[in-house]
A = this chain, B = another copy of it.
């Protein structure tokens, strides 16, 4: 099977590429071709048994989506997006990339379907940002989508379009609402959620980290490998089991900042915890207050999606990767 990854140069895209190449399969099929596209040229992976093509392309440019699917990939991983903070700061960019980019892709597939019966699986990464206040402590699979950001709005609109085009048979899609990825590797970024990873990653590297919210804040997490695992699991799933509801909120670990800190203490000791500097930021706290704390993800679990075992396990994965990389 030919797999196409859009947004292949991002954190999840690179991990997914690595995992596909390592297994040599996608779902139940051998991986015989891999196309990697991003706005910057993705790295070509080593050791892929199939043909690899990498390309720098802007999916919103005229014809780019048609070109991307010209090789008729059997599965399309659509991870390409402008992140939350950027979509809020730059409205037109966010709608262009996150909404129009998705629509151009799905419309290119629709036209290909009309031309030659093409009907790929499409795995679209959505987000918890589709949910907004007021929220119950534990959010069920039937809970209303009311985004509190332009990013969440764009993801929710993409989910709707994907579900409609799946219903009409142009493609066979699923929207995966990923938990907040933690521990996100790399440098601190300006994402509002960055501190959730920062208070683990930075102290373990001997660097200070700022905590802008109270210890009682609770959120929903998945490790980078759990996130990659969700995408791989989706690749092998029969989407017919989803019915009309093509969007899935994925299992995660619900943890408070205090629980994060205790997990850090177990591996880094009091010395690591002492590197966390509390610097309350009311603006950040007000945004975080609107975020979900926990989900009952019965549908996703019934379909075989599994979360990390605990926040300790999330930290352990990070430590193992950090040590392997160091």
Contact = CB atoms under 8 A, between A and B. Distances in A.
Contact of A157 (B91, B134, B161): B161
A60 to B, nearest CB: 15
B164 A153 contact: yes
Nearest to A290: B244
Nearest to A247: B146
Nearest to A136: B142
A165 B141 CA distance: 26
Nearest to A245: B146
Instruction: Count this chain's copies in the assembly.
Output: 2
Nearest to A91: B168
Interface in A161-186: 161, 163-164, 167-168
A147 interface: yes
A163 B150 contact: no
A34 B166 CA distance: 42
A145 interface: yes
A326 B132 CA distance: 51
Contacts of A143: 142, 144
A53 to B, nearest CB: 31
A163 B167 CA distance: 25
A156 interface: yes
Contacts of A157: 157, 160-161
A52 B97 CA distance: 41
Contacts of A269: none
A148 interface: yes
Contacts of A145: 144-145, 160
Contacts of A160: 145, 147, 153, 156-157, 160
A302 to B, nearest CB: 14
A112 to B, nearest CB: 15
Contacts of A144: 141-145, 245
B146 A167 contact: no
B163 A146 contact: yes
B153 A244 contact: no
A132 to B, nearest CB: 5
Contacts of A146: 163, 244-245
A304 interface: no
A242 to B, nearest CB: 11
A150 B132 contact: no
A124 to B, nearest CB: 15
Contact of A164 (B110, B141, B150): B150
Contacts of A133: 243-244
Closest 8 CB pairs between A and B?
A153-B164, A157-B157, A142-B144, A153-B160, A132-B244, A146-B245, A156-B160, A157-B160
19 contacts: A91-B168, A141-B144, A142-B144, A144-B144, A144-B145, A145-B145, A145-B160, A146-B244, A146-B245, A147-B160, A147-B244, A150-B164, A150-B168, A153-B161, A153-B163, A153-B164, A156-B160, A157-B161, A160-B160
Given A141-B144, A144-B145, 6 more contacts: A142-B144, A150-B164, A150-B168, A153-B161, A156-B160, A160-B160
